[in-house]
């Protein structure tokens, strides 16, 4: 009777080969997943840092303008803004000063923001609000701060420069992730090949159980024949041998 051959596993791979492939896939998935988590965390931290920087610029500018207004009124505030524009320190900002009766005493904004809809202004509990301005629908982050005499100062900054910087950074991150994907694929392939090489040749190649069974069967057959011959050999009486 011919010896039974080992059944191949599902997919045509032997069990060691399937385990090696699974190990390589797990390596590639973990490597790519860890890199993706790191990229997402980096992007989130960068976006948060840029937003905090813009808000700090708006906050310090509001305090400086409010202090100038309290010292010299609107004339000093206008001179301060004009001096900053001429000196190159001025960033495009939305500036509005409201009196106690909600009358606009001063308004300054770039021409692209002239059509800002101040009616939609709804400051939150922290004083921040978002306004849409410009033909392209730019978003302004506006901070409101009331003063002791009832005057309300509002200073805002566009989010477009920040969004453009984040868009460029996203493109770089996309290229980086594609490169990381290639590295993960190559690493998974190397891990799979190393695991298969560490297992040595396959069962059929190195003459494992499947190849050793015929030799074992031959040894058993030879032993059986020797046993039969020994049983069929005439047994001389002991006295005949002694004599």
What string of pLDDT tens digits covers the 243 residues of the chain?
455 555 544 444 444 667 767 777 777 788 778 888 888 999 999 999 999 999 999 999 999 999 999 898 889 999 988 888 887 666 788 888 988 767 788 888 877 776 777 767 777 778 898 887 666 667 888 998 888 878 888 898 888 889 899 999 999 888 888 888 788 777 777 777 776 675 554 444 444 444 445 454 445 555 554 554 445 445 544 444 444
Helices (H), the chain: 15-87, 160-198, 209-232, 238-242
* Per-residue pLDDT at 232: 47
- The answer to whether residue 126 sits within a structural domain is yes
CB atoms within 10 A of CB 104: 12
- The answer to whether residue 19 sits within a structural domain is no
* Per-residue pLDDT at 17: 64
- The answer to whether residue 74 sits within a structural domain is yes
Distance, CA of 78 to CA of 107 (rounded, Å): 10
The answer to whether the beta carbons of residues 153 and 147 sit under 8 Å apart is yes
* Per-residue pLDDT at 50: 93
The DSSP call for residue 119 is G
What is the number of domains present in the chain?
Answer: 1
- The answer to whether residue 24 sits within a structural domain is no
- The answer to whether residue 137 sits within a structural domain is yes
* Per-residue pLDDT at 206: 47
Taking the CA of residue 34 as centre, how many other CA atoms within 13 Å lie in the half-sphere pointing to its CB?
A: 7
- The answer to whether residue 106 sits within a structural domain is yes
Q: Which residue segment(s) compose the domain that 94 sits in?
A: 56-158
CATH number at residue 123: 3.30.450
- The answer to whether residue 64 sits within a structural domain is yes
Q: How far is CA 186 from CA 17, 42, 181, 225, in A?
A: 18, 25, 9, 58
- The answer to whether residue 72 sits within a structural domain is yes
Distance, CA of 192 to CA of 80 (rounded, Å): 68
* Per-residue pLDDT at 3: 52
* Per-residue pLDDT at 53: 93
């Amino acid at each position: 009777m011919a010896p039974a051959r080992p059944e191949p596993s599902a997919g045509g791979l032997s069990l060691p080969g399937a385990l090696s492939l699974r190990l390589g896939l797990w390596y590639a998935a973990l490597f790519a997943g860890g890199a993706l988590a790191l990229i997402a965390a980096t992007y989130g931290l960068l976006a948060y840092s840029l937003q905090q920087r813009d808000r700090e610029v708006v906050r310090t500018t509001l305090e400086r303008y409010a202090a100038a207004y309290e010292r010299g009124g609107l004339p000093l505030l206008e001179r301060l803004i004009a001096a900053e524009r001429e000196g190159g320190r001025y960033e495009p900002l939305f500036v509005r000063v409201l009196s106690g009766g909600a009358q606009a005493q001063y308004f300054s904004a770039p021409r692209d923001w002239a059509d800002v809809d101040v009616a939609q202004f709804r400051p939150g509990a922290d004083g921040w609000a978002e306004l849409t301005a410009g033909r392209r629908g730019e978003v302004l982050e506006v901070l409101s701060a009331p003063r002791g005499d009832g005057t309300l100062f509002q200073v805002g900054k566009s989010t477009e420069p920040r969004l453009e910087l984040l868009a460029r950074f996203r493109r770089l991150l996309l290229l980086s992730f594609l490169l990381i994907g290639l590295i993960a694929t190559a690493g998974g392939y190397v891990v799979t090949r190393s695991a298969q090489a560490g297992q040595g040749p396959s069962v059929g190649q190195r003459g494992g159980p499947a190849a050793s069974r015929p030799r074992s069967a031959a040894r058993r057959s030879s032993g059986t024949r020797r046993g039969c011959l020994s049983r069929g050999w005439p047994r001389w009486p002991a006295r005949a041998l002694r004599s």
